[in-house]
Structure 1
Amino acid sequence: MIVVTSPDVPGYRTVKVLGLVRGNTIRARHLGKDILAWLRNLAGGEVHEYTKMMAEAREQAIDRMLEEAEALGADAVVAVRFQTAMIQQGAAEMLCYGTAVKLAPLEDEPAQGRLIPAAEDGPA
């Protein structure tokens, strides 16, 4: 399935808007990983434990959104966005949402300045 952040898909036209689709997940921090992250934070730099957790949360939210889109018979999800929210101390929600649509390929447009073929029976 096509997933884009733009409002349309290049090479296609939207023939039907099926509606909002969304997927979410809530992730809680792990005490053991929190201690490692805290120690890493003292030294500065990227906190790999949280980076990995957020990447996994994004993927799961996308998968759940796509399940909704497939259930509607969508060809694509356009205008996809992510949002995060703190649910409680140590737990956050990752939300992915967009618009499910049906698509049709754009018909080839005639090239500008194209030569018009001569009549088959030759010049008059």
Structure 2
Amino acid sequence: MTTTPEVDGYRVVKNLGIIGAECAFGMNVFKDLFSSVSDIVGGRSGAIQSTLRDARTASLTDLKREAYQKGANAVIGVSLDYSEFSGGGKSMLFVAVTGTAVVIEALAE
């Protein structure tokens, strides 16, 4: 998987289309509390960073699975989008990942 439109040393031999994966993680009251403290005193929120990392990893894993199911051996043009939804006392972190599933082969030297 790569964010670039091509892979050095390889060529795309088949484009299998756009694929995507999404992941939503709930933020519990303790993570919300710790992030509020970080907002007040400054610094990074380890709890939120960990949740974002978990959501990104889960989304990329799902994207790989979808590519494999389509017969791809690579995903190019990968894009990640992060959002936060909140309301009614609840917060959710949302990660959406898209890319193009392709079959690539090494260039002849």
The one-letter code matched in structure 1 to 2:5 is P
Equivalent residue for 2:71, pick from 48, 70, 73: 73
Give the 4+ runs in structure 1 shifted more than 6 A.
none
- Alpha-carbon offset, residue 35 of structure 1: 1.2
Distance 1:40 1:22 in 2: 32
Greater Rg, structure 1 or structure 2? 1
Structure 2 unaligned segments of length 5 or more: list them: none
SS of corresponding position for 2:8: coil
2:100 alignment counterpart = 99
Q: Aligned residues: percent identity?
A: 26
Distance 1:35 1:66 in 2: 34
Judging by fraction of residues, say which structure has more strand.
Answer: 2
- Alpha-carbon offset, residue 98 of structure 1: 0.2
What are the within-5 Å matches in structure 2 for residues 55-70 of structure 1? 55-70=53-68
Structure 1 unaligned segments of length 5 or more: list them: 109-124
What are the within-5 Å matches in structure 2 for residues 76-87 of structure 1? 76-87=74-85
| Equivalent residues, number | 106
1:8 alignment counterpart = 6
SS of corresponding position for 1:9: coil
Distance 2:75 2:38 in 1: 38
TM-score of the superposition, structure 1-length normalised? 0.80
- Alpha-carbon offset, residue 104 of structure 1: 1.2
Judging by fraction of residues, say which structure has more helix.
Answer: 2
The one-letter code matched in structure 2 to 1:107 is A
- Between 1:71-80 and 1:25-34, the stretch displaced more is 25-34
Structure possessing the higher relative contact order (Cα contacts under 8 Å, 6 or more residues apart): 2
Residue-by-residue CA offset, 1:38-74 (whole Å, 9 max, x unaligned)? 1232210111111111011000000011110000110
Equivalent residue for 1:31, pick from 29, 32, 35: 29
SS of corresponding position for 1:10: coil
SS of corresponding position for 2:79: strand
Q: In angstroms, what is the RMSD of aligned CA positions?
A: 1.2
TM-score of the superposition, structure 2-length normalised? 0.90
